[in-house]
Structure 1
């Protein structure tokens, strides 16, 4: 890998999730205003499990685009829908001027299977999107291997299928062991994957919640993190300081190895994300108020 890259070359994107209430959406607007000051390349907006927030996701995508003036990527999954339904939705996004998509198979609700007449994985979904329009497509990558993958090589082969189908980049699931991510990138390059691989960065908002979520998605929590965050869920200001330092140290390791694009899972909380950006030399404004 290459050596140190100047911090001015760093770029970030921010992931948001659709709030459940109108009040939450209004609050998210203030969060977007603050995050936009860091100059992200784009925002992305997630789906709920099984596409359960599809309509609200679209509402938030439109609101974020209008409010920030920046590109917004809509997550799109193929769970619970036929190819014709997904194609109609993709055409609607294209017609509405949405050009960025994060294409995912999606998590299957318990007891459900993919529709027989649907797209069966992320690679098929990317192929379908390419038939609709010239989208900018991001897909997921798993440095610690997807929980449903038969092997690490099979998982890497599937990522290559998604890239070969026309994806522009891969965004990794968060992984706190930086060496694991760097080894994954090296393996991907040796496998012929030349598209950008963007590390996903997860600031720790609540360590207990993070552990529960991570256990279901195959992300490991190193022992040193357990020790570092022990007891800090009751002291949020100190936890935020520690979370910022952990994320910044990881990003700087990546920069030193030539990775300068980061996708930050903001959890709709701007403070730590902006602190990370400021530490990396991006123009983030840190405010004393907690209005957002």
Structure 2
């Protein structure tokens, strides 16, 4: 009897097993469909991108100019450079320069320019300051990132007239970008006269040799090497005479800034009429005309 019961119950047990298998199979199908839908959701946009028609862009040849400025292009857009870091760059570890700007108004914009355009990755290939009213030159960078920490740091209130030149370009090489920015800024002459009263520039004639020696000594004290120094004679201008001396030297950029600070604070009547800077391997070479104004 027991055996008969077992025989009769066997088909019922098999039916339950088949139902379980069907449920399991249905779950696998639903799960597979869900996974497939998820994969399609993720991959379809990418696949469409892969098969979308692509514009072929020829890679720039070595040394080829890939960005070239033109005269009519707005200078703000020419290299797409941002200048949020410029202010930081200007005064980092150089509080003396900031103080100097307040003490010597007419040189403020010039020192603003020189200090702000000396980022760690940048290199001056040339810089000229003419009578502290015109600055022109070229700066070269090794990468786009370095360019982003450089650029026109002057606020709208600045008195500078900005004259960027069309030579500015980005050139691509094997493993770096070389960016050359050619600039030419002009500071109105009246600013020089307003911020630097004439009487403060005069010294007596018997101080000329002492001042000449003092300039050399100040350079030595600021770790600069004077390589050449010679007289250019003098020029009579109204009731005073300007004695000019040409000075060549070498040293670090920061030492040069401190030298200028010492020169202007300790030597009334003495100023650089023109300064030319060029940099190499973290050091600068400078060449300029020191002007000593004497009331006759």
Higher strand share: 2
User: TM-score interval w.r.t. the shorter chain?
Assistant: under 0.3
State the TM-score, normalizing by the size of structure 2: 0.21
State the TM-score, normalizing by the size of structure 1: 0.21
